Amino acid sequence: MNLAHLLQRQARTAPEQPAILSGTQVVATHRQWAQRCQQLARQFQAAGLQPGDRVALFMRNHVRYLEVLFGAWWAGLAVVPINAKLHVREAQWIIDNAQARWAFVTADISPDTGERLTGLARVIDVDSAQADALWQGPDAHFETPITERAADDLAWLFYTSGTTGRPKGVMITHRNLMTMGLGYFCDVDAVSPQDTLAYAAPMSHGAGIYAIPHLMAGARHMVPPSGGFDPAELFALGQQVGPLSLFAAPTIVKRLVDHAETAGLSTRQCGQSFKTVVYGGAPMYAADIQRALRVMGPCFVQIYGQGESPMVGTVLARHHLQDSQHPRHPERLASIGVAQTPVRIRVTDAQGRDLPLGDIGEVLIQGDSVMAGYWRNPEATAKAIQNGWLFTGDMGCLDADGFLTLKDRSKDMIISGGSNIYPREIEEVLLHAPGVAEVAVVGAPDAEWGEVVVAFVVPHQGHTLDTTALDALCLQAIARFKRPKRYEVVESLPKNNYGKVLKTELRQRLA
Ligand code: AMP
């Protein structure tokens, strides 16, 4: 099994179909994409790289991202995509840990990234003349065979965001990604060759992984010229090339919705720009998805997954989001949906015993999307995977229909006076208050209670928040002991590159 076969198949069956776009401009057909990958594969082989060796990508979103990924796979290598927002020193740590042989970089990360990275046989700036030489067109008739890999061989070494301690390398295999790709069609969306996947979120993460189902279906892959997320650009590109599909963190969805609202776009106009917006990676609050559906129409699908089971966990499908007549629709909107087709989900206590429906416990996932383990870290692997089940560290509860509602990561749970408090519950309430744009609730150390609840609140522009009114709202909706003891009104919340609120940083501010 090798993911490169997906590209070879398209290069044979739909060679002249536009495959990679920079904005509206086609930069590769399937045939050209496959040729460039073969060219790269030959270069890797000529330099002595062996199947299983690692190639790092420390790149911002770029049209050559997809060529490096599939070129490396073509030669039987594994890729190590690194978050472009990391410091060079952090990237170096990952490169050393992965023992990567080559690295591909974009100069815009920092002009001297290439010189600062060490321990690599080659560092290639993908925009340089050196890269052009590497990519130089081969004889079109000269085929380089794909180096076969076993289904469980490493394809993608994904370094977890590592909010505490050093990041861990998650070993994602060809089977994991093949499973994810096929599962997309069952659970998330149908894809046709006329569709376009836009890379608006970092390709080193979920957005890049979605290249696989879109390649399976022969769709187009588009990197916006801005290289990232610009709502006005995306709306315009969708109008020009046809409705886009994309993966986005909830904060990005919010900005798309803000743009649509400010620009006075109708849902029909939004539908001309977007076919499917898959959101996940961080909590989407019920109030926010309701507004998104109202403003942009039924283009949304929610997924839940984690690096350890990439993009495959649960799904809250389009029809679930639209089924407003269902008696439990409000609860479903606040949930993360049902198990995706390739996996089973359980909620258990710390010993791995199933809990009754409705009880909160740790979320476990089992299936062919679950990682092979952590890179050279058997202790962490043994802790994360027990009896074939992945312990996600996320806390949640299941209902009788199979819908999973996430409470929080176990480490984000607050214990105050011996009671467990899940920040998300409070965040959901506070987001309904007029003038509140964003909320993050964390625990602050407290001599008497162990921890007390503190809410960081971002007001909408021009609003002054009345914390007494916020407290009154909490009193109406949740148990007294869960109410924030303190409010911190802030201009913005600290977030990582993937749009996740950095609660660790908020806790540090309070410590
Ligand atoms: P990562 O491994 O960086 O992709 O982070 C995965 C974590 O993000 C999960 O373990 C969850 O805590 C969180 N997450 C992912 N998807 C969702 C979602 N749809 N809703 C809430 N949290 C999510």
- Domain boundaries 413-510, CATH class: alpha beta
Pick the residue whose CA is nearest to atom 9 on ligand 1: 306
Q: Which atom of ligand 1 is nearest to the CA of 313?
A: 16
Q: Which CATH architecture has domain 229-409?
A: 3-Layer(aba) Sandwich (3.40)
Q: How far is the CA of 406 from the centre of ligand 1 (A)?
A: 10
Give strand ranges (E) for 166-218: 169-173, 196-198
**What is the SS3 assignment for 329-387?**
HHHHHCCCCEECCCEEEEEECCCCCECCCCCCEEEEEEECCCCCEECCCHHHHHHHEEC
**Given this model, what pLDDT does residue 318 score?**
97
Intervals of CATH 3.30.300.30 along the chain? 413-510
Pick the residue whose CA is nearest to atom 22 on ligand 1: 282
Q: Summarize pLDDT for 114-161 with one digit per residue, the tens.
A: 778 999 999 999 999 999 988 886 555 668 999 999 999 999 999 986
C-alpha triplet 301, 434, 282: angle, nearest 5°? 30
Distances (CA, A) of 96 to 90, 103, 491: 10, 11, 38
Q: How far is the CA of 407 from the centre of ligand 1 (A)?
A: 11
CA distance 17 to 438: 43
Write out the two tokens for 503.
Answer: 């609660």
**Given this model, what pLDDT does residue 163 score?**
47
Q: How far is the CA of 111 from the centre of ligand 1 (A)?
A: 32
Ligand 1 proximal residues by C-beta, below 6 Å: 160-161, 280-283, 302, 304, 306-307, 336, 392, 394, 406, 409
Of 381, 450, 374, residue with least CA distance to 169 = 374
Pocket probe for ligand 1: among 306, 340, 496, the residue whose CB has the most ligand atoms within 8 Å is 306
Q: Which atom of ligand 1 is nearest to the CA of 498?
A: 3
Intervals of CATH 3.40.50.12780 along the chain? 4-17+26-185, 229-409
Pocket probe for ligand 1: among 338, 394, 409, the residue whose CB has the most ligand atoms within 8 Å is 394
Pick the residue whose CA is nearest to atom 14 on ligand 1: 281
CA distance 262 to 7: 40
Which residue has tokens 């650009």? 233
Q: Which atom of ligand 1 is nearest to the CA of 406?
A: 21
Q: At what angle do helices 63-74 and 30-46 cross, to 10 degrees?
A: 60
Fold of 4-17+26-185: Rossmann fold (3.40.50)
The list of the chain residues with pLDDT below 70 reads 111, 137-142, 161-165
Q: How far is the CA of 382 from the centre of ligand 1 (A)?
A: 21
Distances (CA, A) of 241 to 76, 221, 274, 321: 34, 11, 11, 27
pTM of this structure: 0.89
Contact predicate 499/252, CB 8 Å: yes
Contact predicate 109/117, CB 8 Å: no
Tell me how far the alpha carbon of residue 484 is from its chain's centroid: 30
Q: Which atom of ligand 1 is nearest to the CA of 284?
A: 20
